[in-house]
């Protein structure tokens, strides 16, 4: 990891506040940890790699798909001003909101919804980060990305995916309507 802003964010955000209390002693171990609803908080190296690929700048509007416990949203908040994060499990939405509040990231907007739909009402976004493996990037997420924007997502089977970065270069679908 060579991005100074990403490294600084990792030093500032207290990961232990986003880990289930029974796993706090493993907060900084480099492997995923359970957070409830059969979901995990990703291992630190994966999160750092994704954030570095995303190339977030301070003035970017960012949408995260897969809030989990809120940790990645807190890191994104350290990198930019506007962060919207979508989580399908209501229990995790509540946990993430509480974790973010406790850690001082009350400006992050946590939305309960289907990540495949994104959060169009606040788009377009300069950056979109998908934190869960998918076979392909949903068109609705591509539509919510601004021209010149980047989207980072793990694509492929859950335990054999590749980290992919997409850059939107035009609104082709709108030009042909």
The residues carrying an active-site annotation are: 42
d(CA 72, CA 48): 9
Place of tokens 């076979």: 135
d(CA 2, CA 8): 11
83: Cα separation from own chain's centroid: 9
Handedness of CA 13, 15, 16, 20 (dihedral sign): positive
């Amino acid at each position: 990891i060579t991005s100074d802003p990403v490294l600084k964010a990792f030093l500032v955000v207290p990961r232990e506040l986003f880990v289930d209390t029974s796993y706090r002693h493993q907060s900084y171990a480099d492997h995923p940890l359970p957070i409830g609803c059969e979901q995990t908080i990703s291992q630190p190296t994966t999160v750092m790699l994704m954030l570095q690929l995303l190339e977030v700048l301070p003035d970017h509007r960012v949408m995260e798909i897969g809030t989990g416990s809120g940790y990645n949203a807190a890191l994104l908040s350290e990198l930019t001003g506007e962060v919207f994060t979508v989580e399908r499990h209501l229990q995790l939405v509540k946990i993430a909101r509480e974790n973010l509040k406790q850690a001082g990231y009350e400006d992050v907007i946590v939305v309960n919804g289907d990540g495949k739909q994104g959060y169009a009402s606040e788009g377009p976004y300069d950056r979109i980060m998908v934190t869960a493996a998918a076979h392909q990037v949903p068109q609705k997420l591509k539509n919510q990305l601004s021209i010149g924007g980047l989207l980072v997502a793990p694509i492929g089977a859950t335990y054999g995916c590749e980290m992919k970065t997409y850059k939107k270069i035009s609104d082709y679908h709108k030009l042909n309507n």
